[in-house]
Amino acid sequence: MNGPLTCSATNCVHYANNLCSANKIHISGLNASITPDTHCSTFQEKNLENSLNSLSNINLNGELKQFFSSSGIEMYPEIECDAKSCRYNQSGSCFAQSVNIIKNDALNSNYTYCNTFCK
C-alpha cells in the first residue's frame, strides 16, 4: 500500500484513533463482488487475551513515527488481499493510495469491510 489506512473498527485490538496499529493486515474475500464480501481477517475483538496474542503484529516503527509526527498519517500497515477482483489487488498485495476499513460496532471480522474495494 502506498498511503494511509483508516479504520473505524473501534472494537479491534489494533484500532488506534482511526488508524491501524497492526504491522500487517489480511483482507479476505476471494470471490468478492461488493464491499460487504470483503473482511479484515486481522480484526480481533479488544480484550486482554487478544491484545497479548497480537503483540507479534504491532507496527512499532509506524507507531513511533506516528507519535512524533505532526504532519499527518505515518502508520502504514502492509496489506495482503485475497479479493482477486479488486482493481487495487496486485499479486495478493494492495496498491491503493489509501484504504478504509469500516464497521465501528464489529465483534468479529465478518463485520469489518474494506471500503476501498473496487472492481
Pairing of strands 19-20, 15-16: antiparallel
- Alpha-carbon distance of 113 to 69, in angstroms, equals 28
Whole-structure pTM value: 0.86
Cα dist. 86→12, 13, 30, 101, 119 in Å?
24, 26, 10, 15, 5
Sheet arrangement for strand 89-90 = 39-40, 24-28, 78-81, 93-94, 89-90
Question: Domain segments of the chain: what residues?
Answer: 5-114
Mean pLDDT of 43-61: 92
Instruction: Quick: pLDDT tens for 54-97.
Output: 999 988 887 787 778 777 767 778 999 999 999 999 999 999 99
Cα dist. 63→25, 58, 67 in Å?
15, 8, 6
